[in-house]
Amino acid sequence: MRIQRQVVDYALRRKSLLADVYAGRVAVAEVCDANPYLLRAAKFHGRGSEVTCPICRKEQLTLVSWVYGDGLGQTAGSARTPEELARLADTKEEFSVHVVEVCRSCHWNHLVQSYVLGTDPAPRRGRSGANRENRPGSGRRSAAE
């Protein structure tokens, strides 16, 4: 699999949110709001982690990787296993991966990381050097002519 690029870690945001929950400034119901689609994705596409849920402390969190990108077609916006991510990284142009941790017991969920995978996009053909419209035989004349 290609190397992850443009990695963003949301650990500080997570730490701040948890501090607010523990201090009572944010209700538990506000952070334990995973929708059924995310919970289903955690069950079928997620991978286990060693981190215990910071809210209920009953079970280990599940990491779910979501993919987004113009070149993915119908795959965009769906959860993918690590094996599927490896295949996509080798065959598709750049796409984003968003990793969400989710507790299947209390429904805690939080974005923990995002990064870019995939092949480098094909270079766009642009103008290089002189202005093409003013080249001899281009059918256009410059102001000096």
Strand partners, 23: none
Task: Tell me how far apart the alpha carbons of residues 86 and 83 are, in angstroms, rounded to a whole number.
Answer: 5
Contact present, 1 and 117 (Cβ < 8 Å): yes
| Token pair recorded at residue 131 | 């202005």
pLDDT value, residue 75: 84
Q: Tens-of-pLDDT digits for all 145 residues of the chain?
A: 457 778 889 999 999 999 999 999 999 999 999 999 999 999 999 999 999 999 999 999 999 999 998 888 888 889 998 888 888 888 888 889 999 999 999 999 999 999 988 877 666 665 555 555 555 554 555 455 4
pLDDT of residue 71: 81
Spatial distance between the Cα atoms of 64 and 81, rounded to a whole number of angstroms = 8
For residue 122, give the amino acid letter.
A
In the chain, the DSSP E strands lie at 5-9, 47-52, 60-68, 78-80, 95-102, 109-117
Based on its alpha-carbon atoms, the radius of gyration of the chain, rounded to whole angstroms, reads: 23
pLDDT score, position 88: 86
Angle, alpha carbons 10-65-78 (nearest 5°): 125
The per-residue pLDDT for 128 is: 55
**What per-residue confidence (pLDDT) applies to 74?**
85
